Amino acid sequence: MAEAILMPRLSDTMTEGVIAAWHKHVGDQVKKGDLLAEIETDKATMELESYQDGVLLHIGTPDGGKLQVNDLLAIFGNAGEDISELIQLHSGSGAAQTVAATPTASTPSPAEVVTNTPAASPIDIASMEEVVLMPRLSDTMTEGVIAGWQKNVGDTVKKGEVLADIETDKATMELESYKDGILLYQGAKAGEKILVNDLLCIIGKEGLDIAAIVSAVKAGGQNTPAESAPNVESAVTNSIKATTNTGAATISNLAEEVIVNEGRIFASPLAKKLAAEKGIDLKYVKGSGDNGRITKSDIDQYVAPSSASTALPVSSTAVSASDSSAKSATSASLFVPIVTGEVSFTDVPVSQMRKVIAKRLSESLFTAPHFFLTMSINMDAAIEARVKMNEVAPAKISFNDLVLKATALALQQHPKVNSSWMGEFIRYNNHINIGVAVAVDEGLLVPVVRFANTKSLSQIGAEVKVYAQKAKDKKLQPSDWEGSTFTISNLGMFGIDQFTAIINPPDTCILAVGGISQEPIVKNGQIVVGNIMKVTLSCDHRVVDGATGSAFLQTVKQLLEEPVRMLV
């Protein structure tokens, strides 16, 4: 009998997985223990083994596909077995698409709604070229304000001409027409707001049924102007009769007057943007549009003149009349080279690991009230002790190992720091499991050194090195990173003096460790050079108060400044 295999939860934070590669294909005979697929989780790429024998009859998604936890991953059974009911049972979204693709007889489609409307003729909204909707002119724009219409109802509009000035959340921008025709309808007056994708205006041929188009847009889910359709139609008809013959000429004369009297350079917003990116001065570009307006094609076809022709003369007012050398300079030209560049970028899909890091740390930062305590620690004694320890230690001991050991012993004395916020209660952990943040290419992993307070410095050093290598090789297992009660993040090896870290849930605190640097300190009344390391404790104020966190740091400081205490 066929059996469905669902996407397993391969880590405590996993919500979805990506199929990195299938190692078996539909129709293959699979045995229990065979490698079925590699699945990329939020923490690592893990191998999924088959736990039964049979023929692989169905896969839920191909290589690179994404599945939520408990989605249909595969179906095993006997060759030729009917699995249609099993697929349907685990494919709710597919059923929904089937239902959506087959409309019922009682539910009319948008096209039928338009057809059955008394004042409207059958119109396909998808191909309605006369309708102009409010465009999104910035990445954060949700609505626009009509700063001013440059064309009035009844005016003839040509492609590339400015229809209106639109005030967005970032700037006032010119909106160009992308079609020829007559402006038959305006969706709002100057000063009024229009939401993105609402009806802005209608451009078409004279005699077009405006009421039908407005009704069609409304049936298609767009907002309509405040006026009713019959009133819109009559108002547009009267306006067209009054302005068709004079509107275009008036606008044209006004534009020419502005150019002559104010010296304004007319250019489309896109042309201005391209010119700025390419370092082109618009006053040297000849526009091919109406009234000399500069368009995108003019910028694309622009050829920079020779350096002699683009030279900027030095103003004679800036030169002293008595200075003969300055006089000769005024006759020369200052050559300004034109520098061009190209804007480029690369979009990289967000990995599963990065998604979970973003989600968990955002929840931590905006849910747990963080506060930070920083302390300077003199590492002179620790440096001296480490040299002697490494002479006899079976595994090399690092400064991070010393910090980890000191932290574990300090947690024994301050159990409130070794705790977790559980919502309705606080859990004080009797065991001490310290997570060590390890940077990998895709993000950050936190393997856990368990019962760190009971292990020697050599044991801690060897274990951390193994975990670091496994993390870089993507070989960590869920049991390696689950169950921490406290976390250490060390950026000292990267030259960072001091930083703050975000708490790693469900821990209550995280210790950010900076590098060791030589600084002047006062010792026995004398200024001497000391090796100083700064550490910052991030605390969840729901559990740990300032006095508790400070006492914990004092203990860490004492242990590191007198390392012999860690051996007792």
List the catalytic residues: 541, 545
DSSP state of 393: -
What is d(CA 501, CA 350) in angstroms, rounded to the nearest whole number?
Answer: 22
- Please, are residues 433 and 449 in contact by the beta-carbon 8 Å criterion? yes
What are the beta bridge partners of residue 300?
none
Q: 50 is written with which tokens?
A: 């088959």
**CB neighbour list of residue 532: distance below 8 Å, 6 or more residues apart:** 376, 377, 378, 379, 516, 517, 518, 519, 521
- Please, are residues 537 and 381 in contact by the beta-carbon 8 Å criterion? no
- Please, are residues 385 and 457 in contact by the beta-carbon 8 Å criterion? no
Q: What is the helix (H) or strand (E) element at residue 466, kind and residue range? A: helix 457-472
User: Dihedral, CA atoms, 32, 34, 40, 46, nearest 10 degrees?
Assistant: 90
What is d(CA 509, CA 514) in angstroms, rounded to the nearest whole number?
Answer: 16
- Give the residue from 493, 490, 505, 440 showing the smallest Cα distance to 467: 440
Task: Establish whether the linkage from the previous residue to 305 is cis, with ω within 30° of 0.
Answer: no
What is d(CA 398, CA 400) in angstroms, rounded to the nearest whole number?
Answer: 5
Distance of CA 462 to the CA centre of its chain: 38
- Please, are residues 532 and 517 in contact by the beta-carbon 8 Å criterion? yes
Radius of gyration, CA atoms only, the chain = 36
Collapsed DSSP state (helix, strand, coil) of residue 555 = helix
Half-sphere exposure for 451 (CA within 13 Å, toward CB): 4
How many CB atoms neighbour CB 417 within 10 A? 27
**CB neighbour list of residue 328: distance below 8 Å, 6 or more residues apart:** none
- Please, are residues 356 and 446 in contact by the beta-carbon 8 Å criterion? no
